[in-house]
């Protein structure tokens, strides 16, 4: 289920979004990160999806077999928190989160956020980019629709989506990926996009940011 949802995310909000954008606006919305820090943040965010949506479910599939093969090896250090390499390889779900109801809720929430991401990207119109490009013509500042509620609805939905994927398979890899996505989106917005938008839109962005929350309504407004 987790792998299927991840595939749906990549196909819908990456491939399909690029095709639709090119059809409507005649350009590719893909932009490569500019600079080492921007690349590092992109790796964190991209890696978060791959860890949560691909590595975590694959680990669950191969973990028990690998654990059996490692069962005779020496214990790992106590600081790791596992009694043996076998237990580490198995990547058992976190007991407090290993509930069918949470897994179902996580799958439903992930599916809903795939749709939300697509809708929010579409609401940006020709201003939509997968990441900023400081060297191109300044895109229009989008403040309507979902962007009237929060300044970064795509990133908010992506953070929620990754957390929801982790609920469908709550092992340590999935939880680490969800945490990485939260950190990556915070860095992307606070250190890259907000300074960029302030520079190119000036007072218009400052007024918008003063009345609109960063990821949640009314929270994270800039003063």
pTM of the model: 0.84
| For helices 2-10 and 100-123, angle between their N-to-C axes, nearest 10 degrees | 0
Closest CA to 151 of 200, 185, 112, 108: 185
Tokens of 213: 């929350």
What's the maximum distance between 2 C-alpha atoms anywhere in the chain? 65
Q: What angle do CA 189, 191, 194 make, to 5 degrees?
A: 55
Instruction: Give the separation between CA 114 and CA 127, rounded to whole angstroms.
Output: 20
Residue by residue, pLDDT tens for the chain (223 residues) are 788 888 888 888 888 888 888 888 888 777 778 889 999 999 999 999 999 999 888 877 766 555 555 555 555 555 455 555 445 545 667 778 878 899 999 999 999 999 999 999 989 988 888 878 777 767 789 999 999 999 999 999 999 999 999 999 888 888 999 999 999 999 999 999 999 999 888 999 999 999 999 999 989 898 7
């Amino acid at each position: 289920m987790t792998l299927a949802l991840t595939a749906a995310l990549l196909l819908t909000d990456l491939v399909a979004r690029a095709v639709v954008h090119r059809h409507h606006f005649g350009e590719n919305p893909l932009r490569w990160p500019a600079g080492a820090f921007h690349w590092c943040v992109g790796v964190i965010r991209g890696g978060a999806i791959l860890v949560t949506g691909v590595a975590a479910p694959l680990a669950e599939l191969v973990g028990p077999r690998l654990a059996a093969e490692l069962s005779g090896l020496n214990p790992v250090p106590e600081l790791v928190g596992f009694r043996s390499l076998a237990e580490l390889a198995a990547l058992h779900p976190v007991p407090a989160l290993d509930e069918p109801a949470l897994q179902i809720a996580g799958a439903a929430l992930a599916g809903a956020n795939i749709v939300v991401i697509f809708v929010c990207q579409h609401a940006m119109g020709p201003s939509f980019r997968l990441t900023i490009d400081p060297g191109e013509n300044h895109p229009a500042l989008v403040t309507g629709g979902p962007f009237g509620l929060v300044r970064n609805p795509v990133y908010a939905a992506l953070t929620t989506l990754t957390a929801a994927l982790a609920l469908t398979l709550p092992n340590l890899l999935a939880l680490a990926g969800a945490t990485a996505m939260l950190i990556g989106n915070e860095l992307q917005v606070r250190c890259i996009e907000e300074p960029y938008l302030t520079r190119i839109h000036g007072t218009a962005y400052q007024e918008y940011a003063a009345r609109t929350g960063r990821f949640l309504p009314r929270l994270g407004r800039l003063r």
